[in-house]
A and B are shown apart, each in its own frame.
Chain A
Amino acid sequence: MVEFEYVDLDTKRKILDTWGKMSESDKTHFINQVALSLSVWGDDVRGKRLVVEVLKMMSNNGTKTLADFGIYAKQVEKNRLARDRLKKMSRAMLVLDGYRIKHGLSSVAHKDIGV
Chain B
Amino acid sequence: MAEKSAAMKKKPEEIATAQIEEKFASLMNKEIFHKAMDWRRGLTDKQVAAKLVEYENISLEKLPGDWRRFLAGVIEGATTPRHVMPLDDYVKMAMAKRPQLVKEKMDVESLVRQMVATKVPGMPQLTEGAVKAALDLAAMMEMRKPEKFDDKFWAEGKAVV
Contact = CB atoms under 8 A, between A and B. Distances in A.
Interface SS of chain A:
helix
Interface size range on A against B: 35 or more
Contacts of B24: 4, 7, 12, 15-16
A43 B58 CA distance: 24
22 contacts: A2-B28, A2-B33, A3-B25, A4-B21, A9-B17, A12-B24, A15-B27, A16-B23, A31-B35, A35-B35, A35-B36, A35-B39, A36-B51, A38-B36, A91-B52, A94-B59, A94-B61, A97-B55, A97-B60, A98-B56, A101-B95, A104-B92
Interface in B50-108: 51-52, 54-61, 86, 88-89, 92-93, 95-96
Interface SS of chain B:
helix
Contact of A106 (B55, B57, B89, B118): B89
Nearest 4 CB-CB pairings of A with B: A98-B55, A98-B58, A35-B36, A35-B39
Interface in B29-46: 29, 31-33, 35-37, 39-40
Interface of A: 1-4, 7, 9, 12-13, 15-16, 19, 30-32, 34-36, 38-40, 43, 48, 51-52, 91, 94-104, 106-108, 110
